Amino acid sequence: MALNLKANITRPDDFYQELIDMQRDMSEDDVQLMNAKLILILSNHIGDQETLSEAMLLARG
């Protein structure tokens, strides 16, 4: 499995708060657009198709 599912975020509480705070006052529409951009930006960073497929399948549940 190429996807890292071990805890890897350096400061989990800080990261989570930053994400939530950032979207707190945004409209539903803007949040959706931001999330879509975030997925695209992170996907490009990862790059590897196999890892991306694994992540998408995992997220779908």
Partner 1 sequence: MLNTYTWPEYDYVQSEDQKNSTSVKRHPVIVIGAGLIGLTAALDCAKRGIPVIVMDDNNTVSIGSRAVCYAKRPLEIWDRLEVADRVVEKGISWKLGKVFFKEDLAYEFDLLPEEGHKMPAITNLQQYYCEEFLVDEVVKQSDLIDLRWKHKLISLTRHDDYTSLQVETPDGVFTMECDWLIACDGANSNIRKMVHASFTGQFFQDRFLIADVVMKADFPTERWFWFDPLFHKNQSALLHKQSDDVWRLDFQMGWDVDPHEATKRENVIPLIKAMLGHGTDFELEWVSIYQFACRRIDNFRYGRIVFAGDAAHQVSPFGARGANTGIQDIDNLIWKLKMVMDGAAPDSLIDSYDEERAFAADDNLLNSTRSTDFITPKNRASRYFRDAVLELSKKYDFARPLVNSGRLSTPTPYVNSSLNTVDEDDFDGTMCPGTNCIDAPIVKDGKDGWLLHQLGDGFTVLIFGDYPENTSISSGDISAEVITVGGQFEDRQGLLTTRYDGGKGAVYLIRPDQHVAARWRTFDQEKITTAMARATGQR
Residues that bind partner 1 in the complex, under the rule CB under 8 A: 32-33, 35-37, 39-41, 44
9: Cα separation from own chain's centroid: 12
**Of 5, 12, 10, 18, which Cα lies nearest the Cα of 59?**
5
Q: CB of residue 24 vs partner 1: minimum separation in angstroms? A: 19
Q: How many residues does the chain have?
A: 61
Question: 17 or 35, CB closer to partner 1?
Answer: 35
Q: CB of residue 5 vs partner 1: minimum separation in angstroms? A: 24
